[in-house]
Amino acid sequence: MYNNEMMEKEEIFSKVLRAGRRTYFFDVRATKANDYYLTITESKKFTNDDGSFHYKKHKIYLYKEDFNEFNEILKEMTDYIIAEKGDEVISERHQKDFKKEYDTPPVSTPKTETTETVAPEATTDDASTAESRFTDVDFDDI
């Protein structure tokens, strides 16, 4: 029985793709019936506050009967991404001059000053909105 368990986990052919904090392992393995299947493992490195690190792994088992459809969908998805966004990497991590939308200052529009009064029956929301519009208060008037 021990030999069968070893046979099931035997790696026939392997490739590794290192991609920053992530590493992808592509392994051809054999079933008990000596047929082949593919495992794809994503391993991601995390660093703890004390400097030590650990890995989180996610694994996909892909069997021959699914290869064609899997390849078609993978190609369709990758082609879509390249067609929509190009093959240039656009991210904060990969480009020093990358600016997130909320990092860029908003386009200013000219403002006109108006004077508004708040009715005594205003709700709390109305009052807080009104407070944000008025900054100069003379307490002698109260």
Summarize pLDDT for 62-121 with one digit per residue, the tens: 999 999 999 999 999 999 999 999 988 877 665 566 566 665 555 555 554 444 444 444
Q: Is the pLDDT of residue 125 over 70?
A: no
Q: Report residue 53's pLDDT band, with 50, 70 and 90 as the boundaries.
A: confident
Mean pLDDT over residues 52-63, rounded? 93
What is the spatial distance between Cα 5 and Cα 31, in angstroms, rounded to a whole number?
10
Tell me the torsion sign for CA atoms 6, 7, 13, 17: negative
Q: Is the pLDDT of residue 2 over 60?
A: no
Q: What is the pLDDT of residue 68?
A: 97
Tracing tokens 């656009």 back to the chain, one arrives at 90
Global pTM value: 0.55
Higher pLDDT, 13 or 20: 13
Higher pLDDT, 53 or 62: 62
What is the spatial distance between Cα 112 and Cα 87, in angstroms, rounded to a whole number?
45
Q: What is the pLDDT of residue 51?
A: 86
- The CATH number of 2-64 is 3.10.450.700
What is the spatial distance between Cα 130 and Cα 68, in angstroms, rounded to a whole number?
63
> Is residue 41 within 8 Å of residue 29, measured between CB atoms?
no
Written as one letter, the residue type at 14 is: S
Q: Is the pLDDT of residue 54 over 80?
A: yes
Enumerate the β-bridge partners of residue 25.
Answer: 16, 41
Q: Is the pLDDT of residue 36 over 90?
A: yes
Instruction: Give the residue ranges of DSSP H helices in the chain.
Output: 2-9, 67-85, 124-133
End-to-end CA distance of the chain: 91
Q: What is the pLDDT of residue 80?
A: 97
Domain residue limits, the chain:
2-64
